[in-house]
Structure 1
Amino acid sequence: MPVLQYGQSIIEWRFQADAKLKRHYVTVERGQPVLLRGPMVDATEQEALVRRRARWIRDKLALVNLPQSPDVITTGSRLRYCGRTYFTEVRHCPELTRPQLTFTASRFIVENPDGLAIQFDGLMPWLEQFYHERAHEKLLVRVRHWERQTGLHARGARIRHFQSRWASCNAQNVLEFHPRVMELPASVQDYVIVHELCHTSEKNHTKAFWALVARHMPDWQRQHEVLERAVFGDAI
């Protein structure tokens, strides 16, 4: 992998050709070589491009590689969405009165009035708001899909905060999902939906219930194992 000496810093990079891009982009992440993306260029031109941004790259590397506490979110931290963790950039925006969180399809951006670090607990309300919006947008559509697939029908579906559950099917056969279901891989989200739909027919975890789950999702055990290893929730 090519390297560039810039002052006392060593910059290691990898190149990813992308014909769809009209210019070159540099991405800096914790513990990773610098990523240079864009139209195909030879090694000499790659080095010239990295050298042109070397001061910015050095400063970003120093920032993202600062020692981290899992309770503090800084640039280079990772936040979870749909089974993946995404690079997070924290920007100091003193003009704001409260943090703002956006997602750009490849990274989270936190605009923080209090500096370049934010406690995870302080960010969690905004992260859960993001999950809540995405659950309304994506998860409830999947419920309708699985109703068609299974022939099982709920009387409704909604997003709701639980103390320590991913989801439930209440006595009226209304399905309820915690926003943080959106942390899980899509296949596990589908399992949670099928699991709760099966409760519209079988309320308890009997042999008949698990047979119904297996009929509609033969690989349910693999998805259940992933769910059990997840860091939130102890039951569905």
Structure 2
Amino acid sequence: MPLLQYGQSTIEWHFQPEVKLKRHYVTVERGRPVLLRGPVVDTAEQEALVRRRARWIRDKLFLVNQPRTDEAIVTGSRLRYCGRSYFTEVRHSPSLDSPQLTFTASRFVIETPDGPSIQPEALAPLMEGFYRERAHEKLLARVRHWERQTGLQARGARIRLFQSRWASCSAHNVLEFHPRVMELPTSVQDYVIVHELCHTVEKSHTKAFWSLVARHMPNWQRLHAALESAEFGGEI
């Protein structure tokens, strides 16, 4: 596989041609070479594409390859929602058949039949369900708000699990958002929405695309930087 030296980091990538895609995407996953996919290009152009995103790739590789934590979630742990870290209370509820999660204005409450703690793998589907519910309730309403603000129109919006992307705009201008967008501050959520709405006009990250983003959100660069530093490691 080809290699790119970026400072002290060596970036190894694998190219996956996908002729149906109109632009190139970079995916960073734990323990795997960087995946570059999109229209067919030669190795020199692949390297140019990887080099263009090299800083982002380096930072994401550092994040995703951190040692995994298997620490159980207990009372006092913190969980993220809308850019804030909330106190979490774990209650032992022997009468339940499976764990349950609720959210108040100030904390998460987890009830579990297994004791005063819950493992990350058992918590993950509960958090995904919570984020999905809140995304349907709040994020899709923000899409309609930004359609009115910008005059840009999508042909629909929905919540969808991606492997490592925050959001996407389909060839038919349907916007799709990962539930974990709800982890982000509301200002960054709005940036993700505006970014995807701009893709209804400009499919690629061209100069015209970024000019359109700047017209509707002048502080987009600060918000984009905040998105790239988020722990999920997805891109848009």
Same fold (TM over 0.5): yes
Q: Deviations over 1:92-131 (max 9, x none)?
A: 0111111000001100000011011111121010111011
Aligned to 1:218: 218
Aligned to 2:151: 151
Aligned to 1:167: 167
- Runs of 4+ aligned residues of structure 1 deviating over 2 Å after TM superposition are none
Aligned equivalents of 1:121, 1:162: Cα separation in 2: 18
Q: Which amino acid aligns with 2:101?
A: L
Aligned equivalents of 2:138, 2:230: Cα separation in 1: 20
Shift of 1:234: 2.6
Aligned equivalents of 2:72, 2:132: Cα separation in 1: 22
Shift of 1:71: 3.3
Q: Which amino acid aligns with 1:106?
A: S
Structure number with the bigger relative contact order (C-alpha 8 A, sep ≥ 6) is 2
Aligned to 1:136: 136
Q: Which amino acid aligns with 1:96?
A: L
Q: Which amino acid aligns with 2:114?
A: D
- Structure 2 gaps of 5+ residues are 1-68
Tell me, yes or no, if structure 1 residue 232 matches structure 2 residue 226: no
Aligned to 1:177: 177
- Structure 1 gaps of 5+ residues are 1-68
Determine helix, strand or coil for the equivalent of 1:145: helix
Aligned to 2:122: 122
Determine helix, strand or coil for the equivalent of 1:231: coil
Shift of 1:70: 6.2
Question: What's the TM-score once normalised by structure 1's chain length?
Answer: 0.70
Q: Which amino acid aligns with 2:169?
A: C
Tell me how many residue pairs correspond in the alignment.
168
Determine helix, strand or coil for the equivalent of 1:90: strand
Aligned to 1:91: 91
Aligned to 1:40: none
Aligned equivalents of 1:119, 1:112: Cα separation in 2: 11
Aligned equivalents of 1:189, 1:71: Cα separation in 2: 29
Q: Which amino acid aligns with 2:219?
A: D
* RMSD (Å), alpha carbons: 0.9
Q: Does the 8 Å contact 2:70/2:119 carry over to 1?
A: no
Q: Does the 8 Å contact 1:71/1:121 carry over to 2?
A: no
Q: Does the 8 Å contact 2:91/2:109 carry over to 1?
A: yes
Q: Does the 8 Å contact 1:89/1:110 carry over to 2?
A: yes
Aligned equivalents of 1:132, 1:152: Cα separation in 2: 24
